[in-house]
Amino acid sequence: MDETTDVVARTELPEHYGRDPVEFSGDAFSRDEPGIFAPLRDALLAHGDHYIHLADLKSYLEADRAVCALHRDGYEWAHKAILNVAGPGQFSSDRTIAQCAAEIWHAKPCPVR
């Protein structure tokens, strides 16, 4: 058994999804286009989830619940949002653009006065 097959074999859907999740098979999200998500449901559940999309579904749903709980606490949500915006550090788009300009385009900074 290769690593991918092993991951697929160990992938378990949360109990509320069952093997034919209502979220996919129903039309709650596509009332104007009934059945539009059937190919997605089939790809994930009937044809083996080739790209292993569901392998981390359980942890994704746990993280989603934690985010929803945080959002209900307006003060803590605002606090974390401010920290997130104020401290992007090395992931800043300014740093990324400067790095691309220097390493890819070999452009020199142009001071703005």
pLDDT digits (tens, 9 = 90+) for 52-76: 877 787 788 899 999 999 999 999 9
User: pTM surpassing 0.75?
Assistant: no
Q: Look up residue 37 and give its DSSP letter.
A: T
- Phi-psi category of 33—alpha, beta or left, where left has phi over 0 and alpha has psi -120 to 50? beta
Residues 41, 23: Cα–Cα separation, whole Å: 9
* Per-residue confidence band for 46, with pLDDT thresholds at 50, 70 and 90: confident
Inside any domain, residue 101:
no
Beta-carbon neighbour count of residue 29 at 10 Å?
Answer: 10
Half-sphere exposure of residue 54: CA atoms within 13 angstroms, side-chain side: 24
Inside any domain, residue 100:
no
Residue with tokens 């605002």: 78
Inside any domain, residue 53:
yes
Domains contained in the chain, number: 1
Inside any domain, residue 81:
no
Inside any domain, residue 85:
no
Inside any domain, residue 69:
no
